[in-house]
Structure 1
Amino acid sequence: MRVVSREPAASMEAAAVCEVSVASDRPVTVLFAGEMAQAAGVDILVDAAAIVVADSTEVRFLFVGDGPLKTEMMARTNSAGFAPRCRFLGHLDSDAFAAVLNDSDILVVPGRVAQDHSVARSALAAGRWVLTTHQASIDGVEHGRNGLVTYDNPGSLVWGLRDLI
């Protein structure tokens, strides 16, 4: 049995209060939701995911959205051998997205430029950790309290994912 904090804590004391037990066979679910495009940084996340899945059998990645890089990202996960740990869900209606967000542990916003704040706000409101980049300029993410803020490169995202997982 492993312990995973399902909700970001305001302090270390609060972290002990909000921990819940999760069966060890339940992987940590990392969610990307946005346009599958270079500006959104989906390729940065896929590069980081390739490293993180080698570290841990307890992580899976969900990708919600469509865009010009979707086919390439699917091919990259396949050729790197970790496609079984990734799901590309395409565009989802609001109810389906809410269900996916509810089943996720971490939202990643790896943008190279400023991104829409709405998905991150929904994740924070649902008590999910948000891993974002400085470049994405997401309001409301407080480094170390309800998420982490990194740089727009795979190594920085690997650090953030490892820390949150």
Structure 2
Amino acid sequence: MQLAYLVNQYPAVSHSFVRREILAIEALGHSVSRFSIRAPQRDLPDARDRQEALKTATILSGNSAGLAAAAIQRLLRHPRRVLTAFRQTRSAPGRAGLVRRIAYVAEGIWLGRELERAGVQHLHAHFGTNPAAVARVAHLVSGISYSFTVHGPDEFDEPAHIDLPGKIADASFVVAISDYGRSQLCRWSKLADWHKIVVVRCGLDIDQFDQFAAENENERDLDLCTIARLAPQKGLPILIEALGSLARAGRRPNLTIIGDGPLRDELEAQARNHGVADQVRFLGARDGATVTEVLTRSKIMVLPSFAEGLPVVIMEAYACGTPVATTAIAGIPELVDRSCGWLIPPGSAEALAAAITAGLDSSIAQRQQLSAVGQARVRDLHDVRKNAKQLVGHVEAALQ
């Protein structure tokens, strides 16, 4: 099949799961054209992402004249289709919302034209926000079928505002990455559309991670690690607070944080205020090899999120043989339970400190047993090759 993918920003440090999915689909013999609404992230640390950037067409890249020309041409040839797309595209009220709405339509028209030129049979978008809006317009003006993957939590924060029900109604199928995610999509769609909502979990290249998994637990010289965007939804201030509580009790585990974001300065200041700055290393955004190295050197991966879909980093931690302490929210309990880690209520620094203490007090054999259960689950549920076949099967069914 000739397929296309659309992402709001691709490639990007946080979108490695999209890259793995695309490459797995191509390994099955299909062709995938890559499209990104915004330009790829600058200074990509991973060479694989830099290679993907060379294969990706950007819609908004000094292309305003091209977008306008494509929109006018399509409006003259197929005015009814364009007007339908405009009516069915939602955005915020007011002048700014109108401008955004017009932009979505223009982007979708341009994309639809490019899909036609490339002979694309089906378009798949990642995220139910603006990529799904643009994909929907491309479908309405070109007739090319589309689907999209919803990760959460952003799509579930304002489902009516982004017209999630309408996007689901017009799509051939919609992918949730967890059973929890499917339940939320069902909640915000018509009963008649529930059959379109399927679960295809995010996947890893299992064989690649197997070679990094530490065989000797004694070699783990790091206590804790966190791999996350430094944003409010990740709950990292709770982790710093928990470290401060442990320090006052005379326990000072080290923590390595990989990731960047708007809270970095505040988190660094918070670590100083709690007297744990010397325990916390902020490494910023790093490539996949560094993430894997830190995971395999850490005794526990900690993720105190307030809102999630189902974090890929949890899968990566288990693939590296590292047990996880995280919050019992969204799709996380579908992968993590007491047999492979520590689940805590979100927002509780006290519960997180207790989980960290329990994890670090566990014997090597106990942590190995926990990680072995997690590894088995990841191999069963999150092998990108299996999941790519599953996704391709849904596309084939949609094209019949």
Instruction: Give the shorter-chain TM-score range.
Output: 0.7 to 0.9
1:29 offset after TM fit, Å?
1.5
CA distance in 2, matches of 1:125, 1:151: 24
Residue in 1 that maps onto 2:276? 82
* 2:303 pairs with 1:109: yes
Give 2:306's aligned amino acid. R
DSSP-derived class of the 2:298 partner: coil
Q: Which contiguous aligned blocks of 4+ residues in structure 1 show a shift greater than 6 angstroms?
A: none
DSSP-derived class of the 1:108 partner: strand
Give 1:80's aligned amino acid. H
Match of 2:357 among 158, 162, 165: 162
Between Structure 1 and Structure 2, how many residues are aligned?
A: 143
DSSP-derived class of the 1:111 partner: coil
Residue in 1 that maps onto 2:183? none
CA distance in 1, matches of 2:291, 2:341: 20
Which protein has greater RCO, CA pairs closer than 8 Å, 6+ apart? Answer: 1
Residue in 2 that maps onto 1:98? 292
CA distance in 1, matches of 2:330, 2:304: 7
CA distance in 2, matches of 1:102, 1:21: 11
Richer in strand (by share): 1
CA distance in 2, matches of 1:99, 1:19: 14
DSSP-derived class of the 2:232 partner: coil
CA distance in 2, matches of 1:31, 1:85: 11
- Superposed, 1:1-165 pairs within 5 Å as 21=218, 28-54=222-248, 55-57=250-252, 59-135=253-329, 137-138=331-332, 139-143=334-338, 145-152=339-346, 153-165=348-360
TM-score (norm 1): 0.78
List gaps (5 residues or longer) in structure 1: 1-17
DSSP-derived class of the 2:352 partner: helix
Give 1:141's aligned amino acid. V
Evaluate the alpha carbon distance shift between residue 106 and residue 20 of structure 1 in structure 2; reply closer, same or farther with a 3 A threshold.
closer
CA distance in 2, matches of 1:75, 1:163: 27
Give 1:157's aligned amino acid. L
Asked if the contact 1:112–1:136 (Cα under 8 Å) also holds between the matched residues in 2, the reply is: no
DSSP-derived class of the 2:244 partner: helix
Give 1:86's aligned amino acid. V
DSSP-derived class of the 1:29 partner: strand
CA distance in 2, matches of 1:157, 1:20: 23
Asked if the contact 2:344–2:351 (Cα under 8 Å) also holds between the matched residues in 1, the reply is: yes
Evaluate the alpha carbon distance shift between residue 21 and residue 124 of structure 1 in structure 2; reply closer, same or farther with a 3 A threshold.
closer
CA distance in 2, matches of 1:107, 1:140: 14
Q: Which has the larger radius of gyration?
A: 2
List gaps (5 residues or longer) in structure 2: 1-214, 361-400
Richer in helix (by share): 2
TM-score (norm 2): 0.34
DSSP-derived class of the 1:135 partner: coil
Asked if the contact 1:52–1:161 (Cα under 8 Å) also holds between the matched residues in 2, the reply is: no
RMSD value, Cα:
2.1
| Superposed CA offset, 1:45-100 (max 9, x none) | 1111111234324x101111111111111111112221111100100111111111
